[in-house]
Chains A and B, each alone.
Chain A
Amino acid sequence: MEDLKLTLKQQIIESLNLQGMTPADIDDNAPLFGDGLGLDSIDSLEMMVLLERNYGIKIEDAREGRKVLESVASMAAYIEQNRKI
């Protein structure tokens, strides 16, 4: 799980082009949107693409998507249970 979280942080930094950030700067449980990393709605679309492309996960339900994208920890937990790749 810890390896998955680290990989996920690296993928988020790369796909969202978070310049100057390292995985150590992202807290596992900090919110990704709003007060945490300060990401926005386009970033959420980019992360949906990230999940689909890297883990074969397609989230159709927007409410479910909001829960999954709350934090790195919630994303990693969802990937563990639902990954197809």
Chain B
Amino acid sequence: MMKPVYISAAAALSPQNSFDADTLLPDVISSNNGKLFVKDTDYSKFISPVAIRRMSRMLKIGISTGMKAVQLSGTEKLDGIITGTGRGSMRDMELFLGDMIRLKEEALNPTYFIQSTYNSVNGWLAMQTKCTGYNQTYVHRGHSFEMSLLDAKMLLHEATEPQTYLVGCLDEMTDDYFIVKSKIGYWKKEIPNSLQLLQHSNTQGSIGGEGAAFFTVTNTKANSICSVEQLKMLHNPSPASLQENIDNLLTANGLKLKDIDVVLCGMSGDARFQPLYTPILENTTAHTTVVAFKHLCGEYDTSTGFAMWLATRLFQEQSTPEVLIQKKGINPSINNILIVNHYTLNSASVVLMKKTI
């Protein structure tokens, strides 16, 4: 089995006040239009004025989140940067393709094209941190972030010296993307307030979301917040096979479901995927708190990143905000967290984390 890796810092830009707030979810932001957009911050704190003028919103979001994680960790030298994105910089791509049509493929602005490539954020982060080491971007739809995390785990498993990688994810939602996906039933036809999303789990569709989350991941336990013990990716699992995989993962780590203090579930309010989570809600004992998070960040390819940021904050805070709770447990402290998430039927994942502080 692969060695655990340790998270020494985490940062997230999300539709919630996750970036600038000192406490976890001090105020809850909701929407009534089926979309949850990232709450902007002052990007000029992280990016020079010369560079920022040419950047799309997604680039600013990704770079600022990555730089904040590095700042929080106090890391002076990164050994590599690994990022996952399901869709990359959608807005730049849409602008470039729109210009191609509008201008009949002539006199096209190069900036949109250059910055719309999936690895733009990684490139900028490497320049900003002066990291000339490993640099990788995974574009594996609903498993993009998980692939980045797995890559970091494999690199750190083989490392013989202390190493630190910046690992993260980002995805943005645009109006055009929302329209395209609505045609194949991604979003709810009757749109509830985002905070009521899970009360509408008997109908098809979810609400759109976006966000970025970055972590400094190391093989050194000292000064870390928590560990990522194990990660499992599943393709198109049935509720029974997901449950079996959860049980096997816990058994391999000497745990049972009753030992988990908090289960973070990716319930999206979509009736098609709710059965994946029913066994968890039914099988957890009175000890375990079951929480949901997609009513706060919306549905997108790399929402596991937001869940993992939430997990690191739950370890630090040792209490669970009421807005997250689906089933309240009596656990006196938060030491073990299990993340169970899905993105459409194709991608599901299970992540086991443990508190180290």
Contacts and interface: CB of A to CB of B under 8 A. Distances in A.
Interface stretch (A15-23, A25-33, A69-77): A15-23
Interface in A1-42: 15-19, 38, 42
Interface of B: 49-50, 53-54, 103, 106-111, 114
B114 A16 contact: no
B306 to A, nearest CB: 30
B111 A46 contact: yes
> For this complex, into which size category does the number of interface residues on chain A fall?
10 to 19
Given A42-B54, A42-B114, A19 B49 contact: yes
Contacts of A15: 109
A41 B54 CA distance: 13
Contacts of B108: 49
A-B interface, 10 closest residue pairs, ranked by CB to CB distance from nearest: A52-B107, A17-B53, A45-B110, A53-B107, A49-B107, A19-B53, A49-B109, A42-B111, A42-B110, A46-B109
A51 B283 CA distance: 67
A52 B111 contact: no
A19 B52 CA distance: 10
A38 B48 CA distance: 13
Nearest to A17: B53
A17 B54 contact: yes
A39 to B, nearest CB: 9
Nearest to B103: A53
Nearest to B49: A19
A2 to B, nearest CB: 26
16 contacts: A15-B109, A16-B54, A17-B54, A18-B53, A19-B49, A19-B53, A38-B50, A42-B54, A42-B110, A45-B110, A46-B109, A46-B110, A49-B108, A52-B106, A52-B107, A53-B103
A80 to B, nearest CB: 20
Given A17-B54, A45-B110, A49-B109, 14 more contacts: A16-B53, A17-B53, A18-B53, A19-B49, A19-B53, A38-B50, A42-B110, A42-B111, A46-B109, A46-B111, A52-B106, A52-B107, A53-B103, A53-B107
Nearest to B55: A17
B51 to A, nearest CB: 10
Contacts of A46: 109-111
B305 to A, nearest CB: 29
Contacts of A45: 110
A16 B55 CA distance: 11
Contacts of A38: 50
A49 B53 contact: no
B147 to A, nearest CB: 30
Contacts of A19: 49, 53
A78 to B, nearest CB: 17
Contacts of B110: 42, 45-46, 49
Contacts of A53: 103, 107
Contacts of A42: 54, 110-111, 114
Contacts of A18: 53
A16 B111 CA distance: 10
A42 B49 CA distance: 16
Contacts of A16: 53-54
